[in-house]
Structure 1
Amino acid sequence: MQVAGLARSTFYYQCQAILRTEQQSDMELKIRVVYDKHKGRYGYRRITAALCRSLAEPVNHKCVQRLMQKMGLRALIRAKKRFRHVTGMSDVHVPNILQRDFFAGAPNQKWVTDVTEFNVQGQKLYLSACMDLYNGEVIAHRMAKRPVFDLVSDTLREGLHNLGSACVM
């Protein structure tokens, strides 16, 4: 029997839609609590994992992602710290001998060195290389797990040792 001229399925569809919006607003509140608890550092994946741990029923990551986009929540991405200043160690004034003249007229007149950080399988490795400015040839290189002064000094020693063995030939 139709009272309002609507199909019976329409009535039950609307009942389910109202229930879904109530559940959705409840889920938005839970997402907001986890997001604020972790100071906005959690994205949808970590929020989904936190909700699955705290709730008895599993939560779909696509639902969390959609609701976060609807609420305008995004995870904050922290900038990596690239340089640490050690007080007292690097405060010494070093004279600028090259004066930005990176051209060498003959081999072994000007050498430069640098330390580069690499991320290999989640682990940091540091490469120290010594280069001759005459032809851009890498004279020596070393790798280590920590960027300490011995890494650079050992690289220079290896370069001097290679220079000595090259003169013998």
Structure 2
Amino acid sequence: MYYYHRNALNQPSSNTDLRVKIRDIYHKHKGRYGYRRVTYALRAMGLVVNHKRVQRLMCELGLKSKVRPKRYKSYKGEIGRIAETN
């Protein structure tokens, strides 16, 4: 009986170079890229990779996208004309 799955466990992971590329893209964009945008960036580089794989690897690496702070938007000028009162 052969134990192919045990041999596969001893092999180095094929994700090592992918992890490096994911980490580079993440830090290049100051942590603002989530798994979707990292996947698109990898595809633009010519790599065919599934978004679920990128999401899993980012989770293992502890990479989480930062949310950009929202700017306060309020307009204190006159919006329209005031109706005349009789």
Give the TM-score, by structure 2 length: 0.80
Task: Tell me which residue corresponds to 2:5.
Answer: 13
- After superposition, where does 1:78-157 map in structure 2 within 5 Å? 78-82=68-72, 147=75, 149=77, 152=78, 155=80
Q: Secondary structure at the match of 1:35?
A: helix
Task: Tell me which residue corresponds to 1:62.
Answer: 52
Tell whether 2:56 aligns with 1:73: no
Structure with greater helix share of residues: 2
**Structure 1 position 40, deviation (Å):** 0.7
Partner AA of 1:26 in structure 2: D
Give the TM-score, by structure 1 length: 0.44
**Structure 1 position 160, deviation (Å):** 3.5
CA separation of 1:54 and 1:18: change in aligned 2, threshold 3 A: farther
Give the whole-Å Cα distance in 2 for the aligned partners of 1:17 and 1:47.
27
Give the gaps of 5 or more residues in structure 2.
Answer: none
Identity %: 37
Task: Tell me which residue corresponds to 2:22.
Answer: 31
Structure with greater strand share of residues: 1
Partner AA of 1:159 in structure 2: I
Partner AA of 1:60 in structure 2: N
**Structure 1 position 148, deviation (Å):** 7.9
**Structure 1 position 29, deviation (Å):** 1.1
Task: Tell me which residue corresponds to 1:159.
Answer: 82
Give the whole-Å Cα distance in 2 for the aligned partners of 1:53 and 1:41.
18
**Structure 1 position 49, deviation (Å):** 0.8
**Structure 1 position 18, deviation (Å):** 4.1
Tell whether 2:67 aligns with 1:48: no
User: Does 1 or 2 have the higher relative contact order (CA < 8 Å, sep 6+)?
Assistant: 2
Give the whole-Å Cα distance in 2 for the aligned partners of 1:26 and 1:18.
17
Partner AA of 1:67 in structure 2: L
Count of aligned positions: 86
Task: Tell me which residue corresponds to 1:110.
Answer: none
**Structure 1 position 76, deviation (Å):** 1.0
Give the gaps of 5 or more residues in structure 1.
Answer: 1-6, 84-115, 117-146
